Amino acid sequence: MASGCAQKVVLITGCSSGIGLRIAVLLARDEQKRYHVIATMRDLKKKDRLVEAAGDAYGKTLTLLPLDVCSDDSVRQCIDSVKDRHIDVLINNAGVGLLGPVESISMDEMKKVFETNFFGTVRMIKEVMPDMKKRRAGHIIIMSSVMGLQGVVFNDVYTASKFAIEGFCESMAVQLLKFNVKLSMIEPGPVHTEFETKMMQEVAKMEYPGADADTVRYFKDVYIPSSIDIFEALGQTPEDIAKCTKKVIESSQPRFRNLTNSLYTPIVAMKYADETGGLSVHTFYNLLFNFGSLMHITMSILKCLTCNCLRRRTISPD
């Protein structure tokens, strides 16, 4: 490990692609070599893209370990293999998505989402927290989502898993503060990843047994086109999210919540402005079902006006 004990040990879950890969590479290639990155993934056969992106940092400031956040044994073995089990920064990034009418989603599929997104994160926190509390130092970072703050139609189960981890961490942050351990949530809106593109293409072709014809039509003909418009107009890149995460790590007083896309601030504010919940429910209903064509035009105009500038806007934690 270069530059000795001054380096922070950063363990990141879900590094085979997307946001996890970009965070790992950004930290490992830090010019001042302030980080020793332990990039983890469930299947090390998927390491090629990460190794290529890391370049000469691989084997120096970046090492790889296998880790399945859904397995107690795998989590324990991974942390045991770290020198003195010492982790300065834990970045919980591993996650899975689930999209579609809830009537056609099996309970097993729903449980898998919670097993990774909620219990997987809790498993990681439980494993590293005792050491951080003992040392009175450490930073736990959770890759949440704007959907952990505001429900989104047809993302019911994914949203629920993110709401669950937000509630867990909101409670945990109070206790950890007493031990000088920091806890931060990163909350992206739409992010352009292969995962998202592939999922959109697949769900458009799928059959949805158990769901009525109207619901399937709303999902395929209204929700999916609207989602694609939003992704194209407002979507950030995994690199944007990585940069925001690095800022949070390097902040002297990191925020608990970090919305990466400032365009989503009004959506969150709208929810808290009306304690009955009616304002946000009816606003989203109108956007989707009454103003669908208007939204398409608005997003097209926004896409032209921004010239990619707004897509790259990230909130600086300092």
Known binding-site residues for NADP(+) equal 14-42, 68, 162
Residue 99's identity, in one-letter code, is L
**How many C-beta atoms lie closer than 10 Å to residue 162's C-beta?**
28
100: left (phi over 0), alpha (psi -120 to 50) or beta: left
Query: Could you give the CA distance from residue 126 to residue 252 in angstroms, rounded to a whole number?
Result: 24
Annotated binding-site residues read 14-42, 68, 145, 162
Pick the catalytic residue from 158, 218, 223, 264.
158
Measured between alpha carbons, how far is residue 31 from residues 25, 27, 61 in Å? 12, 9, 11
**How many C-beta atoms lie closer than 10 Å to residue 210's C-beta?**
13
Verify whether residue 264 is a known catalytic residue. Answer: no
What sign for the dihedral angle of Cα 167, 117, 91, 311? Answer: negative
**Sheet strand arrangement including 35-41:** 62-66, 35-41, 8-12, 89-92, 139-143, 182-187, 257-259
Closest CA to 152 of 207, 194, 190: 190
Contact predicate 208/216, CB 8 Å = yes
Query: Could you give the CA distance from residue 138 to residue 58 in angstroms, rounded to a whole number?
Result: 24
End-to-end CA gap in the chain: 29
Measured between alpha carbons, how far is residue 256 from residues 2, 133, 165, 172 in Å? 31, 18, 13, 11
Contact predicate 233/190, CB 8 Å = no
The pairing of beta strand 182-187 with beta strand 257-259: parallel
Question: HSE-up of 164 (CA within 13 Å, CB side)?
Answer: 16
Which residues form the catalytic set? 158
